[in-house]
C-alpha cells in the first residue's frame, strides 16, 4: 500500500489566557486528548511536564503525527501546534477545540500545507468550537 505524503500543520500563538489554565499540566493533558479525539486522530501516547515555578508542556503522539502545547502562564501565552498526515484528520479541528477551552484574548496562526512539494503557507480562520459540558 502506498500512502500520501500530504499533511497540514497548524501553529498558533495564544495570548491573554488565564494563568490557572496554562499552569495545570494534567488539565491540559486531558483537554489535548479531547482535542485529538475531536479531530478524529488516533492517540498513541501522551507526555506531560509541569515546570516549576510555572509552565507546562504536553505532547500528544498521534498515529497521524502530533499535537503539542508549551505554556508561559506568567505571560498568559501558549504555543500550540498540530500536524497531521493524510486527508481524513483535520488539525484545525483540534486547534479550534483548544482555543475554545483556553479562551485567549488574541490568537496568531499559520497553516502549512506539507508533503506536496514546496511548503504552502495559509492563513487559517481560528474559530471556537462548540464545547459540550464546558
Active site positions, annotated: 65, 70, 85
Beta bridge partners of 69: 58, 80
Three cell numbers at 91?
Answer: 488539525
Q: What is each CA distance from 32 to 28, 43, 46, in whole angstroms?
A: 6, 10, 9
Q: Which residue's entry shows cell 500530504?
A: 6
Whether the CB-CB separation of 23 and 54 falls below 8 Å is answered with yes
Amino acid at each position: 500500500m502506498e500512502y500520501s505524503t500530504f499533511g497540514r500543520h497548524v501553529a498558533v500563538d495564544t495570548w491573554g489566557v488565564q494563568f490557572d489554565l496554562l499552569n495545570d499540566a494534567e488539565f491540559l493533558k486531558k483537554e489535548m486528548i479531547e482535542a485529538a479525539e475531536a479531530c478524529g486522530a488516533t492517540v498513541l501516547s501522551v507526555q506531560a511536564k509541569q515546570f516549576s515555578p510555572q509552565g507546562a508542556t504536553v505532547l500528544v503522539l498521534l498515529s497521524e503525527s502530533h499535537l503539542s502545547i508549551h505554556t508561559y502562564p506568567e505571560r498568559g501565552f501558549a504555543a500550540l501546534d498540530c500536524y497531521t498526515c493524510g486527508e481524513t484528520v483535520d488539525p484545525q479541528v483540534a486547534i479550534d477545540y483548544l482555543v475554545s477551552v483556553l479562551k485567549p484574548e488574541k490568537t496568531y496562526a499559520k497553516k502549512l500545507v506539507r508533503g506536496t512539494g514546496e511548503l504552502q503557507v495559509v492563513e487559517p480562520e481560528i474559530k471556537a468550537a462548540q464545547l459540550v459540558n464546558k
